Amino acid sequence: MTLTGEFFAFMSLALVAVIGGVLLLNLTKVVHMVVALVFTFVSIAGIYVLLSAEFLAVVQVMIYSGAITIMMLFGIMLTRHHGDEAEPKGGTLRRLFLLVGVLGFGAAVYFGIYDLDFEAVPNTLHENNTEQIGISLFSHYIIPFELTSVILLAALVGAIVLARRDDEKEGDQE
């Protein structure tokens, strides 16, 4: 492992991402948590760049850091949050239990991956990345792509139906 620019970039991005995650767990105000997570999302976009996925990085910034975070903030603002994240009573045992489980899971997976190394294969992902994705998406994966649009449409309709006000009659949902 040599000290290259790539290494520093990875380390700093990873650090920011993890710190964002830890802040998510430890902050008390909901809005702060969401903002903390924005850091994580942005750092993940950076990681994507390191992995020669520029298009994905842009999508990540737009969708996660942009759309989803804004939606979450709207969700928070539309609901009331008093006494945010006070320690739930009686949940300590469960937390402990879960912590042990998560650590065990992490350890088990880590043992699986820590010396994982594939023979490096030269690739051309970084050249015209967006074009490659576009070609792949509209040739090979055209049917999943169209299905995704159907899912998004269904989600859209579903979200509207669910979030509609109660004073309208519930019978005419279509």
- Is 171 a binder of other proteins (CB under 8 A)? no
Instruction: Report the nearest approach of other proteins to the CB of residue 36 (Å).
Output: 10
The binder of other proteins chosen from 39, 58, 61, 72 (CB under 8 A): 72
Q: 34 is written with which tokens?
A: 């969401």
The binder of other proteins chosen from 123, 146, 169, 171 (CB under 8 A): 123
- Is 80 a binder of other proteins (CB under 8 A)? yes
Q: 83 is written with which tokens?
A: 């006494």
- Is 141 a binder of other proteins (CB under 8 A)? yes
Of the candidates 92, 44, 103, 94, which has an alpha carbon nearest to the alpha carbon of residue 68?
Answer: 44
The binder of other proteins chosen from 119, 146, 172, 174 (CB under 8 A): 119
- Is 143 a binder of other proteins (CB under 8 A)? no
The residues in 39-58 that bind other proteins, with binding defined as CB under 8 A, are 40-41, 44, 47-48, 50-53, 55-56
The Cα–Cα gap between 32 and 95 comes to 22
Angle at 32 between CA 39 and CA 13, to 5 degrees: 15
Residue 125 or 169: the one with the smaller Cβ distance to other proteins is: 125
- Is 88 a binder of other proteins (CB under 8 A)? yes
Cβ 43 vs Cβ 16: under 8 Å: yes
The residues in 9-38 that bind other proteins, with binding defined as CB under 8 A, are 10, 14, 17-18, 21-22, 24-25, 30, 33-34, 37
Of the candidates 1, 133, 148, which has an alpha carbon nearest to the alpha carbon of residue 56?
Answer: 133
The Cα–Cα gap between 126 and 53 comes to 7
The binder of other proteins chosen from 12, 85, 142, 173 (CB under 8 A): 85
For 83, residues 6+ apart whose C-beta sits below 8 A from its C-beta are none
3-state secondary structure of 152: helix
